[in-house]
Amino acid sequence: MKNTIFKISFILAIFLLSVLPVNAQEIKLESLGGIHLNDSTQYVKKIYGEPKKIEEREFTSRHDVNSKYKITTFYYNNFRIYLFKDKVKYIVSCGRNGIKTSKGIQVGDSEEQLLKFYNLPVEDNTYVLNQPMGEINELYTCFKIQEGKIIRININEQANWDLLQKILDLEEQLK
């Protein structure tokens, strides 16, 4: 009798575990135009085709003058993707071009629309979504606001500050 109750209890427990939702929530990292950080060059081209323009720049690391690295920039319509070692490291949209976040927000949307989907802190007219990426890294999605409208969305990670600083310097040149 005890053996039968044990078997029924075991089968019921297995059934409940397979049917009930799991409490652990998987964090979906933000994307822009369907592109995520660390996507490959091939994937970007598969989604958007050949860019209108490609620039490759070589830099010397400020921490190691013997270390050089190359940043490749793909230019699309008011949409730029920066790649390092064949992986997306920075994405920016700065015009109403149909490029949206995973929640459907794009440049030109109102600040009110943004806040319907994202509960974010604001500083200097920029809302920033921070998401963990592994144990020591974070993904930043930034929404720049001017006169109540989104004028720029960018996504980057904090992993390599030297690389990020070079990309930000390149972005500054485009303003």
Residues in Cβ contact with 110 at an 8 Å cutoff, skipping those fewer than 6 apart: 148, 149, 150
Which of the two residues, 82 and 163, has the higher pLDDT score? Answer: 82
Q: What is the tens place of the pLDDT at every residue in 122-168?
A: 888 888 887 877 666 778 889 999 999 999 999 988 765 566 677 77
- What pLDDT was estimated at residue 131? 81
Q: What is the tens place of the pLDDT at every residue in 6-51?
A: 445 445 444 444 444 433 334 578 899 999 999 999 999 999 999 9
- What pLDDT was estimated at residue 139? 82
- For residue 147, CA distances in Å to 20, 31, 108, 128, 144 come to 47, 25, 11, 17, 10
What 3-state DSSP class applies to 151?
Answer: strand
- What pLDDT was estimated at residue 122? 80
- What pLDDT was estimated at residue 15? 45
Measure the CA–CA gap between 168 and 54, rounded to whole angstroms. Answer: 17
Phi first, then psi, for residue 50 (nearest 5°) are -70, 135
- What pLDDT was estimated at residue 116? 92
118-147-34 Cα angle (round to 5): 40
- What pLDDT was estimated at residue 127? 82
Measure the CA–CA gap between 84 and 117, rounded to whole angstroms. Answer: 31
User: Phi-psi region for residue 85, left (φ > 0), alpha (ψ -120 to 50) or beta?
Assistant: left
Mean pLDDT to the nearest integer, 72-93: 92
Question: How big is the chain, counted in residues?
Answer: 175
- What pLDDT was estimated at residue 52? 95
End-to-end alpha-carbon separation of the chain, Å? 78
